[in-house]
């Protein structure tokens, strides 16, 4: 009740739109303008800039290697998001159902990684996953494996490290959505004769959908563009879009092709985000009381 | 309405139940014996343990001591799902993502009832709560009163043996509340279901319940019919919490038949009930007098003196606030018959008490 009162007294539409002008100007200068330059650049047929056409796009879309990089990047996002969801959901549920002390403890643990740099966290994963790393040392001292396992520079390594790095982006929206679920709904379900699984499947899970959608969208977008973690843990053998882009632009100086890669990647990401957004709108309508 | 479910209500026994949350005691030795089909109100101020007792009966929390018996079965070991109780929460707790029909069918589906049975029951329940045609709506598309009826239908659909209502009318405005009180009472009579109604609204408890259990600080103060609760309160708490009461100090003079003869500090003698047992001559008592048991303008030197401070014409009754010689403020209410008049502030009056045994004396503790 207090919240609705608050909402009424702070009427956002009452503010002058001109107050948003500095931010709009900033966006125009440092986001829209470069984006426009990028689009223009992607329609040059060669690095000299003499001819115009769609050859860069034709080249990317006709090249199995390039398409493979795009596919593996989008697929990487799916895997990381799935791992974050499976491990993050129970943490968020625990957070929503705990007393105040445990609640703030869980929040602290979830937020702690955000207080260190991504570079530091990624190097920590290199130490953990390396040939002489913590995991291999433990497995070997226990006699479970003869020779060290290859963990670094593998798909498993990249997914694990990315999932840890992006976990807060999944847990925070989920925790918000789950703490909004009225505990009486769970009690009502129980007293009507539903077992724990039915209560979970019919009440808790559907009502947590807005959080799942929001968390997945953030995690997905962040993990497919995570240049540092992807390249350090993936190493030279695994190539994802951000690194591919970087190589074309910086190493090969092929700016038009790099621009085309950016635009294609951007469109692919926007498509995924649009799907998530639509799902989100549907699920919010569906879960609201 | 001949299609309404008629299930013989089962009895409910709350047997010496105590509950502690850590070091603090929420309920202390509660005993209630509710007959099948009876409507019992749990009445008490905020924090007295009403919801706790309801949640113990439903099985959401396990009591520290004592037993809950439904029908012939001790249900302490059963989870909520197997106690066959229906509960309506204060905020209704309808599933927001399900239609009204799905909400009502939820318990039946959980029990594995067939689709045909579910459909039939939903139609019957919607009919019962007069919401036919609302089945495909979502809860948020209904008004508060309608949502409440859905919550009731959902609870009744599983044909529970006990219906628990936690402050079901608290969120409704005054007119709607009266409608819903009548409606719930009608449904309860119709289905013959044993019902526990939690409320802190004394009028609601007195008007709806067959018997009222008054709780205070986790203790059962009195468990009796509304008439007994109001007319012969067992404790000073009940006397002041249910209805209003003027408290006057006094000294015991002796016995007067079944009653106690007390001299009031403000002057005058009264014959009063003494539910705590007879008190010896000379002991100090607090006498509780209901506003309607006092009379203004006693003839001559009868009663005791007071000065009118304020007159409040409250529709069918007139209430005067009068200050006695000892400084105590009294409320006196009279029916507004043709002859009654409003007395101006400052008028000196004589006050008498109506009839023997209408007031009650409790041992003075302070
Ligand atoms: N989960 C809990 N943990 C600790 N103390 C609790 C818990 N639930 C209730 N209490 C305490 O037990 C006492 C009784 O609470 P209860 O909710 O039963 O009161 P109530 O009579 O329903 O009050 P209200 O009219 O405000 O709903 C209160 O003092 C409350 O603070
Ligand atoms: Mg309560």
- Give one DSSP letter per residue of A263-277, joined into a string: HHHHHHHHHHHHHHH
Residues B10-19, mean pLDDT to the nearest whole number: 95
Q: How many CB atoms lie within 10 A of CB A45?
A: 16
* Residue B12, token pair as written in the block: 């409910």
Least CB–CB distance from B93: residue in A188, A193, A286: A188
Burial B313-329 (b: 16+ CB within 10 A, else e): eeeeebbbbbebeeebe
Closest CA to A130 of A230, A46, A231, A233: A233
* Residue B336, token pair as written in the block: 């507004």
pLDDT at A288 over 70: no
pLDDT at A6 over 60: no
> Do residues A81 and A216 touch, judged by C-beta distance below 8 A?
yes
Which residue, among B91, B106, B152, B159, would best test binding to A if mutated, counting the most A CBs under 10 Å from its CB?
A: B106
Which pLDDT belongs to residue A282?
Answer: 79
Residues A200-217, mean pLDDT to the nearest whole number: 93
pLDDT at A14 over 70: no
Per-residue pLDDT band at A287 (split at 50, 70, 90): low
> Does A202 sit within 8 Å of B93, measured CB to CB?
no
Chain A to chain B Cβ contacts (< 8 Å): 68
Distance from CA of A1 to the nearest CA of B (A): 12
pLDDT at A284 over 70: no
Which pLDDT belongs to residue A235?
Answer: 84
Which residue, among A99, A182, A188, A205, would best test binding to B if mutated, counting the most B CBs under 10 Å from its CB?
A: A188
pLDDT averaged over chain A?
88
Distance from CA of B125 to the nearest CA of A (A): 15
Closest CA to A74 of A277, A250, A271: A271
Pinpoint the alpha helices (H) of B259-348: none
Per-residue pLDDT band at B337 (split at 50, 70, 90): confident
> Does A185 sit within 8 Å of B158, measured CB to CB?
no
Per-residue pLDDT band at B258 (split at 50, 70, 90): confident
Residue of B nearest to A208 (CA): B97
Put residue B143 in one of left, alpha, beta given phi > 0 → left and psi -120 to 50 → alpha: beta
pLDDT at B4 over 50: no
- pLDDT above 90: percentage of residues in chain B: 56
Instruction: Give how far Cα A36 sits from Cα of A31, A184, B219, Å.
Output: 9, 52, 75
> Does A190 sit within 8 Å of B87, measured CB to CB?
no
Residues A233-261, mean pLDDT to the nearest whole number: 90
Element holding B185 (H helix, E strand) = helix B174-191
Helices A155-179 and A100-111 pack at an angle, to 10 degrees, of 150
Which pLDDT belongs to residue B164?
Answer: 96
Residues B194-215, mean pLDDT to the nearest whole number: 94
Handedness of CA A84, A85, A86, A87 (dihedral sign): positive
Query: Does the fold of domain B244-363 match that of domain B12-238?
Result: no
Residue B188 CA to ligand 2 center (angstroms) comes to: 22
Per-residue pLDDT band at A106 (split at 50, 70, 90): very high
> Do residues B184 and B156 touch, judged by C-beta distance below 8 A?
no
CA dist B272 and B258 (Å) reads 9
Q: Which CATH number fits domain B12-238: 3.30.428.10, 3.30.930.10, 3.90.1150.10, 3.40.50.300?
A: 3.40.50.300
What atom in ligand 1 is closest to the CA of residue B198?
A: 22
Residues A55-62, mean pLDDT to the nearest whole number: 91
Residues A241-251, mean pLDDT to the nearest whole number: 92
User: Domains in chain A, ordered, with CATH?
Assistant: 55-288 (1.10.3720.10)
pLDDT at A3 over 70: no
Per-residue pLDDT band at A281 (split at 50, 70, 90): confident
Give the tens place of pLDDT for each residue, B124-173: 999 888 898 999 999 999 998 899 889 999 999 998 999 999 998 887 78
Of B4 and A178, which is predicted with more confidence?
Answer: A178
> Do residues A149 and A139 touch, judged by C-beta distance below 8 A?
yes
The protein residue whose alpha carbon is closest to atom 26 in ligand 1 is B46
Per-residue pLDDT band at B299 (split at 50, 70, 90): low
Pinpoint the alpha helices (H) of chain A: 2-9, 21-27, 33-42, 55-61, 64-97, 100-111, 118-129, 134-141, 155-179, 183-191, 196-199, 205-207, 209-224, 227-234, 241-246, 255-287
Residues A81-88, mean pLDDT to the nearest whole number: 96
Q: Is B186 helix (H, G, I), strand (E, B) or coil?
A: helix
For chain B, give every domain's residue range.
12-238, 244-363
Per-residue pLDDT band at B187 (split at 50, 70, 90): confident
Which pLDDT belongs to residue B338?
Answer: 65
Residue A219 CA to ligand 1 center (angstroms) comes to: 40
Closest CA to B208 of B241, B172, B180, B234: B180
The protein residue whose alpha carbon is closest to atom 8 in ligand 1 is B52
Residues B261-280, mean pLDDT to the nearest whole number: 85
> Does B140 sit within 8 Å of A288, measured CB to CB?
yes
Q: Looking at the CA of B55, which ligand is closest?
A: 1
Residue of B nearest to A188 (CA): B93
DSSP state for residue B7 in the 8-state scheme: -
Distance from CA of B232 to the nearest CA of A (A): 38
CA dist A153 and A235 (Å) reads 5
Per-residue pLDDT band at B3 (split at 50, 70, 90): very low
Which pLDDT belongs to residue A172?
Answer: 95
Q: Find where tokens 């505990």 sit.
A: A183
Give the tens place of pLDDT for each residue, A70-80: 999 999 999 99
Contact list, B106 vs chain A (CB under 8 Å): 189, 192, 194, 202
- Give the pocket of ligand 1 (CB within 6 Å): B 21, 26, 44, 46-52, 200
According to CATH, what is the number of the domain B244-363?
A: 2.40.50.140
Instruction: Give how far Cα A112 sits from Cα of A118, A122, A164, B24, Å.
Output: 12, 15, 11, 36
Q: Which residues contact B81 (CB under 8 A, 6 or more apart)?
A: A190, A191, A192, A193, A194, A195, B110
Least CB–CB distance from A182: residue in B91, B111, B158: B91
Beta bridge partners of B305: B350
DSSP state for residue A52 in the 8-state scheme: B
Which pLDDT belongs to residue A4?
Answer: 44
pLDDT at A260 over 80: yes
């Amino acid at each position: 009740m207090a919240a609705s009162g608050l909402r009424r007294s702070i009427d956002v539409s009452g503010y002058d739109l001109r107050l948003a002008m500095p931010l709009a100007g900033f966006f125009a200068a440092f986001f829209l303008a470069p984006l426009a330059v990028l689009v223009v650049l992607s329609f040059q047929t060669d690095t000299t800039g003499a001819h115009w056409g769609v050859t860069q796009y034709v080249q990317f879309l006709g090249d199995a290697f390039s398409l493979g990089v795009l596919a593996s990047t989008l697929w990487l996002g799916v895997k990381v998001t799935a791992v974050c969801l499976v491990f993050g959901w129970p943490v968020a549920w625990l957070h929503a159902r705990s007393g105040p002390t445990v609640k703030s403890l869980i929040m602290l643990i979830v937020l702690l990684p955000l207080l260190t740099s991504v570079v530091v966290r990624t190097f920590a994963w290199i130490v953990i996953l390396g040939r002489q790393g913590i995991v291999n040392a433990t497995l070997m001292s226990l006699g479970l494996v003869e020779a060290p396992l290859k963990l670094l520079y593998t798909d498993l390594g990249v997914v694990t490290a990315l999932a840890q790095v992006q976990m807060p982006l999944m847990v925070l929206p989920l925790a918000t959505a789950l703490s909004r679920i009225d505990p009486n709904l769970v009690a009502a379900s129980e007293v009507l004769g539903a077992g724990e699984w039915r209560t979970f499947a019919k009440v808790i899970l559907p009502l947590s959908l807005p959080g799942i959608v929001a968390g997945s969208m953030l995690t997905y977008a962040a993990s497919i563009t995570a240049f540092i973690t992807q390249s350090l843990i993936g190493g030279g053998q695994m190539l994802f879009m951000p690194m591919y882009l970087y190589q074309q632009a910086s190493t090969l100086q092929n700016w038009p092709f790099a621009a085309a890669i950016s635009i294609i990647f951007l469109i692919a990401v926007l498509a995924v985000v649009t799907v998530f957004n639509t799902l989100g709108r549907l699920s919010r309508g569906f879960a609201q009381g | 309405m001949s299609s309404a479910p008629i299930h013989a209500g089962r009895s409910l026994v709350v047997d010496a139940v105590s509950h502690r949350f850590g070091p603090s005691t929420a309920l202390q030795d509660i005993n209630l014996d509710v007959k099948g089909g009876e409507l019992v109100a749990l009445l008490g101020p905020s924090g007295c343990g009403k919801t706790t007792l309801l949640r113990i009966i439903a099985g959401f929390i396990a009591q520290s001591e004592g037993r809950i018996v439904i029908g012939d079965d001790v249900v302490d070991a059963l989870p909520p799902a197997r106690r066959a109780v229906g509960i309506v929460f204060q905020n209704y707790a309808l599933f927001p993502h399900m239609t009204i029909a799905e909400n009502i069918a939820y318990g039946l589906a959980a029990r594995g009832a067939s689709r045909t049975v579910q459909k039939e029951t939903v139609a019957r329940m919607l009919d019962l709560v007069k919401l036919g045609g609302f089945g495909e709506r979502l809860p948020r598309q209904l008004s508060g009163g309608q949502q409440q009826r859905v919550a009731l239908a959902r609870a009744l659909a599983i044909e529970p043996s006990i219906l628990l209502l936690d402050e079901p009318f608290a969120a409704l405005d005054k007119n709607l509340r009266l409608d819903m009180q009548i409606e719930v009472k009608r449904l309860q009579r119709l289905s013959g279901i044993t019902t526990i109604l939690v409320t802190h609204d004394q009028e609601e408890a007195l008007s709806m319940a067959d018997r009222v259990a008054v709780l205070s600080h986790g203790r059962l103060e009195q468990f009796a019919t509304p008439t007994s609760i109001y007319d012969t309160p067992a404790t000073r708490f009940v006397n002041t919490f249910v209805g209003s009461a003027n408290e006057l100090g006094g000294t015991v003079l002796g016995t007067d038949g079944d009653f106690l003869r007390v001299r009031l500090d403000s002057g005058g003698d009264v014959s009063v009930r003494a539910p705590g047992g007879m008190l010896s001559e000379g002991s100090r008592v607090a006498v509780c007098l209901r506003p309607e048991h006092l009379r203004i303008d006693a003839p001559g030197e009868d009663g005791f003196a007071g000065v009118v401070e304020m007159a409040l014409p409250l529709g069918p009754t007139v209430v005067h606030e009068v200050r006695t010689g000892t400084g105590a403020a009294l409320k006196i209410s009279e029916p507004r018959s043709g002859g009654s008049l409003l007395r101006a502030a400052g008028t000196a009056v004589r006050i008498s008490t109506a009839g023997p045994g209408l007031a009650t004396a409790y041992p003075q503790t302070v």
